[in-house]
Chains A and B, each alone.
Chain A
Amino acid sequence: MNPFIDMVRFTPNEKRYYRNSIAPTVAFLAVMAGSAMLVREYRDEWPFEVLAGLALLPVLPMVWIIKIYIDYFRDCDEWEKLIEIYGIAIGVLLVGMAYFALGLLGLFQLVVLDGTLLAYGMLPAVMLVYTLGKVVGRWRHG
């Protein structure tokens, strides 16, 4: 069998993972939009604690997604776990290295970095490179 064809054929565990991820993903988008709107609207009226709580609200659906991922990982067989670990390792190491390199450029004042954008973009960057890492893992071990 062609391992690249296998990538688009989902196992029951993968199907469950993607199905279960829909609700928290929609929740994340809705909470994110709601939080942004409320914080922008009431920035000068509501106390900092309330605004900070609103700003951090999107973390909750992310925690929900992580819980679903942990359940998915638990139900993976040994080869699937290897591929997952491969993806996570590549994602964390490459993004960590990229951030370190950017940090060096900032440290030597060669570029001006937007810390907020960098902090916000870290998790999506890890997830993106994790997916690429899984493709590499399946290609090497599948």
Chain B
Amino acid sequence: MRNVIRERRESQGWSQAELADRLAVSRQTVNAIETGKYDPSLPLAFKLARLFGEPIETLFDDAP
């Protein structure tokens, strides 16, 4: 699944480690999500949406 997490994080000026701290996950987890190799659980997706102040569907795109 494609996502814009990296763009949103960089626009906030956060490193992967800073975003990981805010989400209470490891930096590797943030990296795996950003590269699209791992799709987060619904609770973590909601956390991301709340953190960036956007709905989940603008952060994640499941279109082929």
User: A114: CB under 8 A from chain B?
Assistant: no
The answer to whether the Cβ of A82 comes within 8 Å of any Cβ in the partner chain is yes
Q: Tell me, yes or no, whether A3 is within 8 Å of chain B by CB.
A: yes
Stretch of A20-28, A60-68, A73-81 lying at the B interface: A73-81
B41 & A6 in contact (Cβ 8 Å cutoff)? no
Question: Is B29 interfacial (CB 8 A cutoff)?
Answer: yes
B31 touches A141 (CB 8 A): no
A13 to B32, CA, bound (A): 18
Known interface pairs A1-B16, A141-B38, A142-B37; A80-B31 also in contact (CB < 8 Å): no
The SS class assigned to the A binding surface is helix
Assess A78 versus B37: contact at CB under 8 Å? Given A6-B31, A142-B28, A142-B32.
Answer: no
* A98-142 vs B, Cβ < 8 Å mask (1 yes, 0 no): 000000000000000000000000000000000000000010111
Given A140-B37, A141-B37, A142-B37, are A79 and B16 neighbors across the interface (CB < 8 Å)?
no
Interface contact B26-A142, CB-CB below 8 Å: no
Docked complex: B5-45 residues within 8 A CB-CB of A: 16, 24-29, 31-33, 35, 37-38, 40-41, 44
